[in-house]
Amino acid sequence: METLLGFAIAVMVGLTGAGGGSLTVSILILTLGTPAACAVGTSLLFGTACKLVAGPMYLVRRQVNARALLFLLAGGVPGVLAGSFILRAVRSRSLEPVVLTVVGSVVAVMALMNLSKHLRNHGGRPDSNRQHRLPWVAFPIGLVTGVSSSGAGALGSMALMCLTPMAASEIVGTDLLFGLAVSSVGGSFHAAAGNLSVDLLAKLCLGGIPGAALGAWLGGWLPSQQLRAAVNLFLAFLGGQLLWMGVLRLVR
């Protein structure tokens, strides 16, 4: 079952560059009953493996903006380190309901924001290029990713859509490599802190690696914007489920 889940999630990551962390951490908690902190760490490293396969394909097709990527990394890497440290502190106090509530809130709000942006944008691009603002936007994105494993894909692509005139395929490629760097840094930190299930990660990667390759190949042919809208609608539902679960545990 874990292998099939890994394959399905990785196809979506390769196609859209978004939703991998949110989908993985939500499904691990809701379907498999994985502890929240462990789900975040495992999800980050699974995302790293998937994007390590899908990212180079976008590089070969020259669908990555190197300058925008460097700006994102300048803020995103310090942010994910700070977020991972915060989650480690929360875990040490056994505040599982708080982590569930935070993760659920982040996933649901992020998905709804991205869906709203998609509905308002209708494929339009900004007239000006404001890449120099990306580091300031990327820091909170990294922070959220370190805490919840969510945000690098959806929020990173949203920042690129708002601040640059890049084409959709170039946004996906740039965002995938940004997510790769942020996931690898955050995942390594979580693994060192013990927030990782090696057995679960291996099963996810067994399906995820071929799934990411398939998704990245299909990404050159299928419309990513419509797929992102569907993924974000599903994520809003999953985030609401996690939020409700966390709130119920808090009031008990």
Q: What is the DSSP string of 167-191?
A: -HHHHHHHHHHHHHHHHHHHHHHHH
Whole-number pLDDT of residue 136 = 92
Across 117-127, average pLDDT: 59
Instruction: Please count the structural domains in the chain.
Output: 1
For the cut 60, the answer to whether the pLDDT of residue 92 exceeds it is no
pLDDT in tens, 52-72: 887 888 888 888 999 999 999
For the cut 60, the answer to whether the pLDDT of residue 94 exceeds it is no
For the cut 80, the answer to whether the pLDDT of residue 49 exceeds it is yes
Determine the structural domain holding residue 35 and report its residue range. 2-251
Query: H-helix or E-strand containing 21?
Result: helix 20-30
By C-alpha distance, which of 153, 207, 159 is closest to 175? 153
Tally the residues of the chain. 252
Whole-number pLDDT of residue 40 = 84
Helix axis angle, 36-60 to 198-218, nearest 10°? 30
pLDDT in tens, 186-219: 889 888 888 889 999 999 999 988 888 887 777 6
Whole-number pLDDT of residue 73 = 95
Whole-number pLDDT of residue 124 = 52
